[in-house]
Amino acid sequence: MLKNVSNVLEWEPPAEWLEIKTIDAHTGGEPLRVIIDGYPSLSGNTILEKRQNAKENFDFIRKALMLEPRGHADMYGAIITPPETSEADFGVIFMHNDGYSTGCGHAVIAITKIFVEMGLVKINEPETVIRMDVPSGTITAYALIENSKVMSIRFINVPSFVEILDGETQIPVYGKIKFDLAFGGAYYAIVNADNIDLNPNDINMVIKVGMLIKNSINNQVEIVHPHEPEMNFLYGTIFTFKPKNKNNHSRNICVFANGEIDRSPTGTGVSARAAVHYARDEISLDETITIESIIESTFDVSVIEETKIGSKNAVVPQVVGTANIIGKHTFWIDPLDEKGQGFFLR
């Protein structure tokens, strides 16, 4: 035991250091660092405008919290903002090792867990409803409650749709790659890994091939979202494999941002996959499939409604998962600490 431990606990940093407080959680093993205090107020009337303000003026905070030495190459985070719409409880901006994303299912699940169990919203049993504005739209999440504890979380995602079925692109070594392109809050290229002899245990190769496919398609395909130009880019590559558990539908490994590997099955990714499976008549309305992640955590996903987004046929997916709270942190950013501003190492 340290002597004079109270001196350590009471120590305050110099006034010029920025202090940021967070709650950390994980969803199926995928981390989430939620900023709860210390982030500057963001200007803008919409979540997308606030996200742009974060990019232009406060990106140094993202780098400090997501990258080493406070984070790592696969860290993920969220900034809580006032809501954009009257029906939402709050807004969320998602961030990662390479910038800011448009949607994130694992973060929705983890944030719901945090807000309910830490008393940031009123708890109603057996189900507490939370609505959050995110860059891709408004998400409604439902926390199943037993004895004031969150047992599971489901959320109704934004309309999801297929952009391309049976597309083809070329990458070095592997040659021609077939893919489906779909939107589930972000755009994903979905590739059956069994067709390209990709070993899911060779993580470095999974990242390399995923980034090659992503960059090739981004250079080949002009992506145009029906409503929002800021979503006109391919966010990640999802490789599908046979499941380890025969009771599950399949296995997902998602490579996104600057080569991040999602430890969860990827909430927006399984939503994009649900749109593809529905378009191919491989699942029916309200049919639930269970998808594994790289570490065998699972999400349940189903199509609960058909809809339209612009002129496109779309579906409304529902995703179910669980999350855990793992820490409360106070971070200090010393403006004179060069390496403490964040660095990327894979």
Residue 154 scores a pLDDT above 80: yes
Query: Residue 9 falls within a domain, yes or no?
Result: no
Residue 5 scores a pLDDT above 90: no
Q: Are residues 150 and 227 in the same domain?
A: no
Q: Are residues 55 and 136 in the same domain?
A: yes
Query: Residue 132 falls within a domain, yes or no?
Result: yes
Range of 250's domain? 161-321
Q: Are residues 304 and 167 in the same domain?
A: yes
- Kindly state the average pLDDT of the residues 277-306: 98
Domains identified in the chain, total number:
2
Strands 90-96 and 289-292, sheet pairing: unpaired
* Six-digit token string for 15: 């006034």
Instruction: Report pLDDT for 1.
Output: 59
Q: Are residues 196 and 113 in the same domain?
A: no
Q: Are residues 109 and 177 in the same domain?
A: no
- Kindly state the average pLDDT of the residues 325-329: 97
8 or 337: which leads in pLDDT = 337
Instruction: Report pLDDT for 324.
Output: 98
Could you read off the pLDDT of 167-179 as tens digits, one per residue? Answer: 999 999 899 999 9
Q: Are residues 140 and 186 in the same domain?
A: no
Q: Given pLDDT bands bounded at 50, 70 and 90, which one contains residue 10?
A: confident
Could you read off the pLDDT of 51-108 as tens digits, one per residue? Answer: 999 999 999 999 999 999 999 999 999 999 999 999 999 999 999 999 999 999 999 9
Query: Residue 344 falls within a domain, yes or no?
Result: no
Query: Residue 6 falls within a domain, yes or no?
Result: no
Q: Given pLDDT bands bounded at 50, 70 and 90, which one contains residue 8?
A: confident
Distance in angstroms (rounded) separating the CA atoms of residues 247 and 207: 27
Instruction: Report pLDDT for 249.
Output: 98
Query: Residue 31 falls within a domain, yes or no?
Result: yes
Distance in angstroms (rounded) separating the CA atoms of residues 278 and 288: 11
- Kindly state the average pLDDT of the residues 145-165: 96
- Kindly state the average pLDDT of the residues 134-148: 95
* CB within 8 Å of 214: residues ≥ 6 apart: 189, 234, 236, 237, 255
HSE toward the beta carbon, residue 133, CA cutoff 13 A: 18
Distance in angstroms (rounded) separating the CA atoms of residues 327 and 25: 7
Average pLDDT, the chain: 96
Q: Are 84 and 102 in contact, with CB atoms under 8 Å apart?
A: no
Q: Are 316 and 276 in contact, with CB atoms under 8 Å apart?
A: no
Q: Are residues 234 and 184 in the same domain?
A: yes
Q: Are residues 219 and 281 in the same domain?
A: yes
Q: Given pLDDT bands bounded at 50, 70 and 90, which one contains residue 4?
A: confident
Q: Are residues 109 and 209 in the same domain?
A: no
Q: Are residues 222 and 313 in the same domain?
A: yes
Q: Are residues 196 and 241 in the same domain?
A: yes
Residue 325 scores a pLDDT above 80: yes
Which run of H or of E encompasses 239? strand 234-241
Query: Residue 130 falls within a domain, yes or no?
Result: yes
Q: Are residues 132 and 276 in the same domain?
A: no
> Active-site residues: which are they?
104
Distance in angstroms (rounded) separating the CA atoms of residues 111 and 30: 13
Query: Residue 2 falls within a domain, yes or no?
Result: no
Query: Residue 5 falls within a domain, yes or no?
Result: no
Q: Which amino acid is at 47?
A: I
Could you read off the pLDDT of 12-28 as tens digits, one per residue? Answer: 999 999 999 999 999 99
Q: Are 170 and 192 in contact, with CB atoms under 8 Å apart?
A: no
CATH number of the domain that residue 248 is part of: 3.10.310.10
> Percentage of the chain with pLDDT > 70?
99
